[in-house]
Structure 1
Amino acid sequence: MDTKKILVLGASGYIGSQLIPHLLTQGHKVTAAARNVSYLQSRLKPHPKLTFTYLDLVDKDRTLETVHGHDVVFFLVHGMAHGHDFLEYELSLAINFRDALQGSGVEHVIYLSAIQPQTGNSEHLEARKKTGEVLRQSCVPVTELRAGVIVGTGSAVYEIMKDLVYNMPVLLAPKFVSSKANPIALANLNHYLVSLVKETPASHQYFEVGGPEVLSYAEQFNIIGEAINRKRKLVPTALLTPSMAAFWLGVVTSVPSAIGKALLAGISHDYIANADEIQARYPQTMITFEQAVKVSVMQEGEFVRSNVWGFDPQALNRWQPGFGYYPKNAGASIYTELSSTQLWQIIKKIGSKEEGYFFANYLWRTREWLDFFFGAGVPVRRAPTNPELEVGEFIDSWKVIRCEKGRFLSLLFGMKAPGMGRLECTITDRGEYRELDIRAWWHPKGFTGLLYWFAMMPAHLFIFRGMVRAIVKKAKAAGLE
């Protein structure tokens, strides 16, 4: 087999993180590049042919260094989560990558893009289109795959639809719910992506990819409802504008509002791919939407079987169908000249009798007692017994599920609530200073899980801001080296 050196840009995203194991199975040597390397490492199992590297495409020099020496590069980067100016942001990243290709030795770029509908447009679709134009300005042949809705656990559009069915008794939807698409199953998309690695094209090319049937979004909702045994009445309304719908999605689904807004504008038109050409070149059995949904439902919770949760048996057992795939999060960061060791000497005392939670301890204690009296049955006081935190140790109702001394601590949420969560303390060395981040991650269960999260949001923001400041203050006072 002709194996190649492959660079995956945007490796921590939905497509990249699940594509990499397929590339490794084919014997290729893979470099996974992302801004959040620790998260990527927690998602993927170690492999002798897999290398992780930090890369922010904003850094032109680092981009040049990373791209050099690979045979094939997957460009799976998008900026939808960046906010309102993501078009300009995406194009700046594409330009830096294009420039890095000059003299790099790269033979082929594979770019996952979006179908361009016959009518209408959106900033998301415009960004995908213009990014392709920028990449094709390079001297390296680019293969652009233009996809519509991808069906699989973690796909943003699919997760939005699934969350709505799980969370809402009645589905209020914009009028464009009658728009049509031919969604492609993740397994079918992977077949095309892996097959393209074998190619060394002489010029740029593009293919549209889609599934075997054309369905309206209303029909897709009905199929998802039947698959999870939750049939919902769909009520299209002109009162729900795209902007209002995006805000609504941020409240009633786990998908971030910025991503939901960008995607909504794109799916407000028919989104139908003509996949005849690529299917003729790389034939395979195409999976129907119903089959793809059933597979995804059976695989719900698979992502929890990763080091994100420390492979903790308690976490695996607690996961339930209907928990949001994308977690809500709230936290606070602070920058300091203190060393990682100084910060860790304080952090490792979390939950101890002398330190508690460093800030607003009365709120933590109140929450514990409420849990104790209203049915959770969790002991209120279980301070750490080991001066050095260890995986498996309990701190009140929290459980240590990951601990990387001097850098990272993850605690499994053990209190009674409709969902599943964790609390993370992260120390990142930025060279001349350190960044301390404390953040709660919450996978809500249904609408009650969402209500719980938003009810706790003000307290979270207040507490975490106080915690990071208190930790830095205590570390300075301790004068530890």
Structure 2
Amino acid sequence: MILVTGASGYVGGRLVPALEEGGARVRCLARKPRYLAGRFSSRTDVVAGDVLDPDSLRKALQGVDAAYYLVHSMGSKEDFGEQDRVGARNFARAAREQGVRRVIYLGGLAGDGELSPHLASRLEVGRILASEGVPTLEFRASIIIGSGSLSFELLRSLVNKLPVMVTPRWVGTAAQPIAIDDVIAYLIHGLDIEHEGSAVFEIGGPRQVTYGELMREYARQAGVRRVMIPVPFLSPRLSSLWLGLVTPVYARVGRKLVTSLRNETVVRDTAALERFPVRPLDVGEAVARALREEDREMATTRWSDAVSSSGRQPLWGGKRFGSRIIDRQQAVVRADAAGAFAPIQRIGGSRGWYFANWLWAWRGAVDLLAGGVGMRRGRRHPVDVRPGDPLDFWRVEAFEPNRLLRLQAEMKVPGRAWLQFEVEPAEEGSRITQTAVFDPLGLGGLLYWYGLYPIHWLIFRGMLRGIARRGDAQCPERI
């Protein structure tokens, strides 16, 4: 049995199908198992657990021969270094207690000198995993190139949106990008390599490039011309806000990311090429492959898929929250359930929200400035929906074809919020019920809701009318 942590994330979401294809018995650890429902083979077990909960780890690791540790807390609102430290320590101890043969960990390449907090944490996690005596293979990678990867979406957004770029100093930093398929190949070969004890392997493509050269390579393949003007005075904070304005990365992650970009991430030890039968793609072919998949709008996984990409959400209910506030509206349409549900299933992303899209964009911009996720994540797929998907500044919490879509808010709000759409048969077609639920956090939450109530009412009513028009609508009825 092989355990995969971080299966909802970018790398883990691609590793699990590759393991399944090879005939392995796989178990996935997830804080919210329902978000992985239907993503993998029916033979794969999905168990509830958290690396911050030692009891859940002991249960998850029972009968496990090898385990992948693909967890990080960069999206956390708390001290991500401390969370990474505690999670790795819990995992290493539980793996030792349960007799796990090998732990395989994907960390980050780091050069000499003072490391950013993010890279320092990646290295520390590797040391902690190996400290309890379970043989640990640590793969250290630089930029991962693939459709949907954080690095590639940054690259794509910057080059596509900015004909002239005022670039900070970090665009001259050297890196050694590697294609996502090559990363997966290394991780799988790590199961079978004969090696005593723990080891670190640095992995990368055959060529070192700067971030600026990587952007020029993308521009060349995309057929556009771009001008880059380097300036020395863009601080990490300003750079992160800049990234937040033109890319899917929001400020909280952007600040942590930018501080890491000052460190060179190149391969200095080539032992991986000697020990593994993997011959990584050149950076040009890696970009070309990512472009082919990205342009089909069908990236297998995206960096924002991981539930941790938006930080931990407050727990449901409890004394911190007041009574839920509910806004419910209905519309009857002449279409059948499939026709009535079709616009609901396509909501968000490039299609928008069917009413006052400029207000949604404004709310997303405010969220970005506040350090939230904003609206730039879009959708994983223009039609397909699955629980756990990010959808603008929401996340899909529940989905039933032609019947139910429930979204949980991941924007910054003083409380918790949901938006739910239900479709049921009616006498002359179908009834659409749209429900907005807000669980306010103290007085601030109440002031937020009632202060914006006229705007919320206008948006919710207009949105339902827009959905209903696309389902052969009659006017919505307030209930």
Same fold per superposition (TM over 0.5): yes
Would you say the 8 A contact 1:74–1:110 is kept in 2? yes
Q: Distance in 1 between matches of 2:328 and 2:297?
A: 28
Residues 284, 335 of structure 1: CA spacing in aligned structure 2 closer, same or farther, 3 A cutoff? Answer: closer
Alignment partner of 1:19 is 2:19: no
Question: Residues 307-456 of structure 1 correspond to what in structure 2 (within 5 A)?
Answer: 326=304, 335-336=316-317, 351-353=329-331, 383=333, 390=337, 392-394=338-340, 398-400=343-345, 415=354, 426=397, 438-439=407-408
SS at match of 2:437: helix
Deviations 1:196-245 (A, max 9, x none): 11135320111100110111111100011122223221122122111211
Residue of structure 1 aligned with 2:260, choices 241, 266, 269: 266
Would you say the 8 A contact 2:147–2:299 is kept in 1? no
Unaligned 5+ runs, structure 1? 309-323, 338-342, 354-381, 403-409, 429-435, 442-453, 472-481
Deviations 1:290-347 (A, max 9, x none): 11101001001667478x9xxxxxxxxxxxxxxx9749999x989459xxxxx9xx99
SS at match of 2:68: strand
Instruction: Between the two structures, name the one with larger relative contact order (CA 8 Å, sep ≥ 6).
Output: 2
1:251 deviation in Å? 2.2
Alignment partner of 1:130 is 2:108: no
Q: Distance in 1 between matches of 2:253 and 2:105?
A: 19
Aligned length: 377
Q: Distance in 1 between matches of 2:41 and 2:228?
A: 46
Q: Distance in 1 between matches of 2:226 and 2:36?
A: 36
The match for 1:340 is none
Question: Residues 86-125 of structure 1 correspond to what in structure 2 (within 5 A)?
Answer: 86-125=80-119
Alignment partner of 1:255 is 2:233: no
SS at match of 1:245: helix
The match for 1:9 is 5
The match for 1:241 is 235
1:274 deviation in Å? 2.9
Alignment partner of 1:41 is 2:37: yes
Normalised to the residue count of structure 2, the TM-score between the two structures is: 0.69
Q: Distance in 2 between matches of 1:62 and 1:303?
A: 36
SS at match of 1:280: helix
The match for 1:50 is 44
Would you say the 8 A contact 1:210–1:275 is kept in 2? no
Q: Distance in 1 between matches of 2:292 and 2:31?
A: 31
Q: Distance in 2 between matches of 1:467 and 1:38?
A: 22
Would you say the 8 A contact 1:110–1:143 is kept in 2? yes
Would you say the 8 A contact 1:224–1:293 is kept in 2? yes
Residues 351, 384 of structure 1: CA spacing in aligned structure 2 closer, same or farther, 3 A cutoff? Answer: farther
Alignment partner of 1:299 is 2:238: no
1:96 deviation in Å? 1.1
Q: Which moved more, 1:92-101 or 1:276-285?
A: 276-285
TM-align CA RMSD: 3.9
Residues 302, 35 of structure 1: CA spacing in aligned structure 2 closer, same or farther, 3 A cutoff? Answer: farther
Residues 71, 272 of structure 1: CA spacing in aligned structure 2 closer, same or farther, 3 A cutoff? Answer: same
SS at match of 1:143: strand
1:384 deviation in Å? 7.9
Would you say the 8 A contact 2:70–2:105 is kept in 1? yes
Would you say the 8 A contact 1:146–1:208 is kept in 2? yes
1:138 deviation in Å? 1.2
Residues 232, 219 of structure 1: CA spacing in aligned structure 2 closer, same or farther, 3 A cutoff? Answer: same
1:86 deviation in Å? 0.6
Normalised to the residue count of structure 1, the TM-score between the two structures is: 0.69
Would you say the 8 A contact 1:8–1:74 is kept in 2? yes
Alignment partner of 1:467 is 2:436: yes
Aligned AA (1:162) = R
The match for 1:183 is 177
Unaligned 5+ runs, structure 2? 319-323, 362-375, 380-390, 400-404, 421-434, 441-479
Q: Distance in 2 between matches of 1:79 and 1:470?
A: 26
Q: Distance in 1 between matches of 2:53 and 2:295?
A: 35
SS at match of 2:165: strand
Residues 238, 94 of structure 1: CA spacing in aligned structure 2 closer, same or farther, 3 A cutoff? Answer: same
1:156 deviation in Å? 1.4
Residue of structure 1 aligned with 2:27, choices 25, 31, 41: 31
The match for 2:282 is 288
SS at match of 1:81: coil
Would you say the 8 A contact 1:437–1:468 is kept in 2? no
**Kindly, what percent of the aligned residue pairs are identical?**
26
Residues 36, 236 of structure 1: CA spacing in aligned structure 2 closer, same or farther, 3 A cutoff? Answer: farther
The match for 1:212 is 206
Would you say the 8 A contact 1:117–1:270 is kept in 2? yes
1:287 deviation in Å? 0.8
SS at match of 1:208: strand
Q: Distance in 1 between matches of 2:218 and 2:107?
A: 25
Residue of structure 1 aligned with 2:70, choices 61, 76, 80: 76
Q: Distance in 2 between matches of 1:191 and 1:14?
A: 15
Q: Distance in 1 between matches of 2:296 and 2:190?
A: 27
Q: Which moved more, 1:205-214 or 1:418-427?
A: 418-427
1:250 deviation in Å? 1.9
Would you say the 8 A contact 2:48–2:56 is kept in 1? no
Q: Distance in 2 between matches of 1:425 and 1:333?
A: 16
Aligned AA (1:88) = E
SS at match of 1:250: helix
Deviations 1:420-442 (A, max 9, x none): 655767479xxxxxxx974468x
Residue of structure 1 aligned with 2:193, choices 173, 194, 199: 199
The match for 2:451 is none
Aligned AA (1:144) = E
Residues 174, 425 of structure 1: CA spacing in aligned structure 2 closer, same or farther, 3 A cutoff? Answer: closer
1:119 deviation in Å? 2.4
Q: Distance in 1 between matches of 2:197 and 2:437?
A: 53
Residues 247, 305 of structure 1: CA spacing in aligned structure 2 closer, same or farther, 3 A cutoff? Answer: closer
Q: Distance in 1 between matches of 2:299 and 2:187?
A: 25
The match for 2:155 is 161
Q: Distance in 2 between matches of 1:325 and 1:384?
A: 39
Q: Which moved more, 1:131-140 or 1:196-205?
A: 196-205
SS at match of 2:28: strand
Residues 161, 279 of structure 1: CA spacing in aligned structure 2 closer, same or farther, 3 A cutoff? Answer: same
The match for 1:276 is 270
